[in-house]
């Protein structure tokens, strides 16, 4: 039996060419296994942080249908995950979305897709650093019993300096390579999942004992998305849910460093997705049963506590001693994600530089640690500068930048999903499996995320969206979100002058693999 090879040739040096195929970049091979890949995906999502910051908001939008919305948000992510898996099988390249969309749609679309990933990651990194800083001082106040220490987070100078220190530590760990990263992540992710399991167990015990007046009995109707009171409420909850899954694709960015690079990262991504949806459903259901989703008392939608649910529930549900463990878990979640989120941005920049879509200096790999050293450091500096400037200029601008994040996420995920179907278009009718996993599922995921993109874009026009700020009557979230995408277009125009070969399609060619021929 012979086959017509469909995988682009991997080879050459960092600057060497491979006839339009992907390039080896000097990263440390076989340094990540299946477990490490899944852990990186889970860590980047930061499940405990996502839960404490969005449980209340989601409950406020959709009430008891929160578990159904968690499932609804999981669906497009799962469908897109299939696209990532199939593309990674034929092109295990650290550039992931950038490289794949270039191969499918050409250099301009691919460049903008890479930009969407990079700018989304910078926004997330700055947000995670801020959250980790706040929880650091909150935890310090809890441990010492000092309100004065906890209040240091409100001191802008102390907050910024602490934030910059955390960013520097996370950058240093990422700079030392995947071995150091894995060791830290195993401990932090393990801590998160154990504490979540304890919280779920104790919340169910409290619910069974009727410990809180606002608690409610479980009902299978909670799993029905059609029971949400309005379409507007459903889409708002869905946007929050999609954000809660963002980051699982980080394990794909390490594909050139993973054992079995063509299959292991895809499997790791699917494992991460299953762990995440299971954790979210278990926590959401247990919390609702214990305290309900109302806006009174300990209810999840109480506006006084909805932006930080675990801070309100830690003591009542877990007691004073174990409650501190929940604070530690949130801090660990934000810190772990801060560190692993450097992985996709550094490796995307490395790939874009290796293919001459960005300045060549970013393609340098550290000779000892085998990581994109300059790209990692620059990402850290950019994150620190972004957070500092936004914090000093206006808290409202920083909040609106975070709200604009959903636009970037839907943008590059949807493009990657459509790239899968288009890249494999010659193979779609070869078998039922190919049609489903290379065509149908990715297209459905792309359509769903495109719909969320369009609805979010429409909602952002209203100044009431986000902090309530506006620019000439247009919502500042819209201005920031669209402005950041347009900034990418400007930078791309500059790079077209500096690197004409890439934009002529001479470095990374647009192509489609031929169908497998057997004899």
Better pLDDT: 85 or 128: 85
Q: What is the mean pLDDT of the segment spanning 159-183?
A: 84
- Which tens digit of pLDDT belongs to each residue from 204-244? 999 999 989 999 999 999 999 999 888 878 887 888 888 88
3-state SS, residue 475:
strand
* pTM, 2 dp: 0.86
- The separation between the first and the last C-alpha atoms of the chain, rounded to the nearest angstrom, is 5
3-state SS, residue 470:
strand
Count the Cβ atoms, other than its own, within 10 Å of residue 198.
16
Both tokens assigned to 115: 């930009």
Angle formed by the axes of helices 47-62 and 107-144, to 10°? 100
- For residue 306, the model assigns a pLDDT of 82
- Which tens digit of pLDDT belongs to each residue from 304-314? 888 788 888 98
- Identify which of 18-22, 466-470, 482-486, 515-519 has the greatest average pLDDT: 482-486
What does 342-387 look like in DSSP terms, one character per residue? Answer: HHHHHHHHHHHHHTTSS-GGGG---TTT-S-HHHHHHHHHHHHHHH
User: Quick check: 251 and 331 in contact, CB under 8 A?
Assistant: no
d(CA 111, CA 19): 19
- For residue 19, the model assigns a pLDDT of 40
User: Quick check: 450 and 456 in contact, CB under 8 A?
Assistant: no
Query: What are the CA-CA distances from residue 158 to residues 94, 162, 335, 383 (Å)?
Result: 37, 6, 18, 17
Q: What is the mean pLDDT of the segment spanning 474-491?
A: 91
- For residue 513, the model assigns a pLDDT of 53
What does 128-174 look like in DSSP terms, one character per residue? Answer: HHHHHHHHHHHHHHHHHT-HHHHGGGGSHHHHHHHHHHHHHHHHHHH
3-state SS, residue 462:
coil
- For residue 142, the model assigns a pLDDT of 81
pLDDT at 126 over 80: yes
Q: What is the DSSP letter of 242?
A: H
- For residue 371, the model assigns a pLDDT of 83
Would you place residue 180 in the very low, low, confident or very high pLDDT band (cuts 50, 70, 90)? low
- Which tens digit of pLDDT belongs to each residue from 260-283? 988 999 999 999 999 999 999 999
pLDDT at 9 over 90: no
- For residue 30, the model assigns a pLDDT of 81
Query: What are the CA-CA distances from residue 267 to residues 69, 113, 249, 261 (Å)?
Result: 25, 23, 11, 10
User: Quick check: 419 and 101 in contact, CB under 8 A?
Assistant: yes
**Least-confidence region, from 18-32, 51-65, 352-366:** 18-32
- For residue 492, the model assigns a pLDDT of 96
- For residue 519, the model assigns a pLDDT of 33
- Tokens 């699982």 sit on residue: 248
Would you place residue 161 in the very low, low, confident or very high pLDDT band (cuts 50, 70, 90)? very high
Both tokens assigned to 225: 């998305």
- Identify which of 21-25, 131-135, 433-437 has the greatest average pLDDT: 433-437
- For residue 104, the model assigns a pLDDT of 95
- Which tens digit of pLDDT belongs to each residue from 312-336? 898 899 998 888 899 889 888 888 8
User: Quick check: 442 and 418 in contact, CB under 8 A?
Assistant: yes
Would you place residue 29 in the very low, low, confident or very high pLDDT band (cuts 50, 70, 90)? confident
pLDDT at 432 over 60: yes
């Amino acid at each position: 039996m012979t086959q017509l090879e469909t995988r682009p040739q991997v080879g050459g040096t960092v600057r060497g060419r491979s006839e339009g195929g992907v390039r080896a970049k000097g990263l440390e091979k076989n340094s990540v296994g299946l477990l490490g890949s899944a852990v990186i995906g889970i860590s980047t999502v930061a499940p405990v942080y996502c839960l404490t910051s969005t449980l209340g908001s989601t409950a406020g939008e959709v009430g008891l249908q929160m578990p159904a919305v968690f499932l609804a948000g999981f669906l497009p992510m799962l469908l897109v995950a299939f696209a990532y898996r199939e593309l990674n099988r034929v092109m295990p390249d650290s550039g992931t979305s950038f490289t794949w969309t270039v191969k499918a749609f050409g250099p301009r679309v691919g460049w903008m897709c890479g930009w969407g990933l990079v700018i989304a990651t910078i926004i997330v990194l700055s947000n995670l650093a801020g959250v980790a800083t706040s929880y650091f001082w909150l935890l310090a106040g809890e441990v010492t019993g000092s309100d004065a220490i906890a209040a240091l987070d409100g001191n802008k100078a102390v907050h910024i300096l602490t934030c910059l220190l955390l960013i520097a530590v996370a950058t240093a760990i990422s700079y030392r390579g995947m071995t150091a990263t894995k060791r830290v992540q195993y401990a932090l992710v393990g801590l998160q999942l154990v504490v979540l399991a304890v919280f779920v167990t104790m919340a169910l015990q409290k619910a069974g004992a009727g410990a809180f007046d606002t608690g409610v009995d479980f009902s299978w109707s909670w799993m029905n998305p059609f029971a949400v009171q309005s379409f507007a409420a459903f889409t708002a909850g869905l946007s929050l849910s999609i954000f809660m899954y963002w980051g699982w694709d980080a394990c794909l960015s390490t594909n050139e460093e993973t054992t079995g690079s063509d299959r292991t990262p895809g499997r790791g991504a699917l494992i991460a997705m299953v762990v995440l949806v299971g954790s979210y459903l278990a926590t959401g259901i247990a919390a609702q049963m214990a305290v309900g989703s109302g806006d009174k008392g300990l209810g999840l939608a109480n506006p006084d506590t909805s932006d930080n649910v675990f801070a309100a529930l830690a003591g009542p549900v877990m007691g004073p001693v174990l409650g501190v463990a929940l604070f530690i878990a949130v801090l660990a979640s934000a810190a772990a994600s801060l560190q692993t989120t450097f992985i996709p941005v550094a490796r995307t920049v490395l790939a874009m530089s290796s293919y001459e879509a960005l300045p060549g200096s970013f393609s340098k790999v550290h000779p000892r640690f085998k990581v994109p050293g300059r790209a990692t450091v620059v990402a850290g500096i950019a994150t620190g500068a972004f957070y500092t400037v936004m914090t000093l200029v206006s808290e409202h601008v920083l909040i609106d930048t975070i709200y604009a994040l959903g636009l970037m996420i839907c943008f590059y995920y949807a493009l990657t999903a459509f790239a899968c179907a288009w890249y494999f278009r010659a193979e779609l009718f070869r078998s039922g499996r190919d049609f489903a996993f290379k065509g149908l599922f990715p297209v459905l995921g792309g359509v769903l995320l495109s719909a969320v993109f369009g609805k979010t874009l429409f909602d952002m026009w209203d100044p009431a969206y986000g902090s309530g700020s506006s620019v000439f009557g247009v919502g500042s979230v819209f201005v920031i979100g669209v402005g950041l995408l347009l900034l990418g277009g400007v930078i791309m125009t500059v790079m077209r002058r500096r690197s004409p070969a890439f934009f002529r399609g001479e470095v990374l060619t647009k192509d489609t693999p031929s169908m497998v021929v057997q004899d």
